[in-house]
Structure 1
Amino acid sequence: MGYYVNVEPGVNLYVEDLNPEGSKTIVFLHGWPLSHKQFEYQFNVLPAKGYRCIGIDWRGFGNSDKPFHGYTLDRLADDIRNLIGALQLNNFILVGHSTGGAIVIRYMARFKGYGVSKLVLIDAAAPVGFADKEAANQMLNETLKDRPKMIRGLIDSFFFQYITDPLSDWFFQLGLQAGGWSTAAVIVMLRDENVYGDLPQISVPTLIVHGIHDQVIPFAQAEELNQNIRNSQLVPFQYSGHGAFWEERDRFNHLLRQFIG
């Protein structure tokens, strides 16, 4: 079922809540500039295995409200904390893909991992999002001039495996659901912020999944996360780019279930 949760006056986040009676809860944070719908191939499987799966659209993306303000790691992490409190979640598994990975890392540091029993980072945009400031500025410029073209270019570099035109079109439409202003603001956030200082504050068991062919966030960054997050394990995905959750979805779903226990 889907519903909205108020996280700030005038700002409501959309939540997809599947199998609310599940024995263990997994909270999913999507990547930029997508929405919770990117995890369709997890949501098809995991609720049937007895898990409660909660997909959250960040502010500015998917079905959530799209205010002009609030696109910093601190504010996005605060949104998640307010939502977790509203839903009274505890002892849950927190999953973040790409920029969602940076947000969950900030959440863990800012709120001492409140309620989280285990953490999963998929092709995380961390410790930095854009190491190349010039590339970030170029993407920002294109977003402000021709956002559909920028999204098409992103999809072209997203996957290692072959994808069909219909799947590419689906990801394209997910990207277009976002606000133009929020899409641009998150590029600035990824360019100017990082989570280096947050990593030592993570203490829960952490699974790091990263495609070795990732052209968006290099695999070396996953190795850096593994070195700086204690009690973490890195699992390379040999046949994936930036979309391991789809490109090797059966393996990913099995690994996630194993990790959760």
Structure 2
Amino acid sequence: MYIEVEKDVRIFVQDINPGPGSRPVFFVHGWPLNHKMFEYQYNILPEYGFRCISMDIRGNGQSSKPWGSYSYDRLADDLYIVLETLQLENTALVGFSVGGAISIRYMSRYGGCHITKLALVDAVTPSFVKTPDSPYGVTKEQANALINQMYVNLPKFLNDVSLMFFNRNLGPATLDWFVHLGFQSASYALIKILQEAAKDDVTKDLSQIHVPTAIFHGVHDQLIPFKSAQITQQRIRGSQLYPFDNSGHGLPIDQADDFNKALMHFINA
């Protein structure tokens, strides 16, 4: 289905509903992917009574690809409109990577409306670029170099990122699949989202989260270091950190079975 979030901008939403009474779980994908990155969750969670809902962030997948803003605020606003339109309640929000940052901004900006539990998965938090409050990100120069690579050679860039994404040798087919998902996005959207991640952060938003929160993070994450997850856990009151020893940044794929079990346990607790 499609939901219009502003004039001429429609967000693609997938809704896998196993039946009445199913617990809603809303997935927000990361960069440079789309909702299909959660296939290993969609294959399992509905069997246990979970309604799996996901969207393609504007500029990605099957959603509209406008030229305008891709700020965290704008993307959080899109998420709010989708949740409002679907009239979801008692929902678990699962944000992966940049989708984690968007989810955090949503929780702060909208007071956690519709959401009763938050799962952050390899989330870009507190920041992507190093700051005094978040010293484990990349440098500003490294971020700019990554952005410039997309202007010069996007296919090579996506291939290089795929090699850093996973902790295990999942084979060329999985890496090709990752790159293919990236090509379903507008290149300017990928650039703009990474530019926003390089200049914005969610440090001040963390204290505004007041629902049970689980932080799932790969110990071998090369993109968002595990120490960043430890800082996030310290700044979200009452949150719990779940390390995954065999995962890099692609936890929902690296350790899909273990992640699915931990996520369902957290939602049901």
TM-score, scaled relative to structure 2: 0.95
Which string of whole-angstrom CA distances, capped at 9 and with x for unpartnered residues, describes residues 56-95 of structure 1? 1000001100000120000000000011111111110000
| Count of residue pairs the alignment pairs up | 259
* Residue 38 (structure 2) aligns with: 39
CA distance in structure 1 between the aligned counterparts of 2:247 and 2:129, rounded to whole angstroms = 20
* Structure 1 residue ranges, 4+ long, deviating more than 2 angstroms after superposition: none
SS in 2 for 1:119: strand
Matches within 5 A, 1:7-18: 7-18=5-16
The CA deviation at 1:50 is 1.1
User: Secondary structure at 2:27's aligned position in 1?
Assistant: strand
Q: 1: CA distance between counterparts of 2:46 and 2:66? A: 32
- Corresponding position of 2:4: 6
**Mapping for residues 1-261 of structure 1, pairs under 5 Å:** 3-19=1-17, 21=19, 23-131=22-130, 132-261=139-268
Shift of 1:55: 1.2
RMSD: 0.8
Whether contact under 8 Å (1:99, 1:129) holds in the other structure is no
CA distance in 1 between counterparts of 2:94 and 2:107 reads: 12
How far apart, in 2, do the equivalents of 1:52 and 1:239 lie?
Answer: 28
> 5+ residue gaps in structure 1?
none
- What is the alpha-carbon distance in structure 1 between the residues aligned to residue 89 and residue 154 of structure 2? 38
CA distance in 1, matches of 2:60, 2:69: 12
Q: Secondary structure at the match of 2:205?
A: helix
1:185 deviates by 0.3
TM-score by length of 1: 0.98
Alignment-mate amino acid for residue 112 of structure 1: G
Q: Distance in 2 between matches of 1:245 and 1:12?
A: 27
Q: Is the 8 A contact 2:123 2:224 kept in 1?
A: yes
Q: What runs of 5+ residues in structure 2 fail to find an aligned partner?
A: 131-138
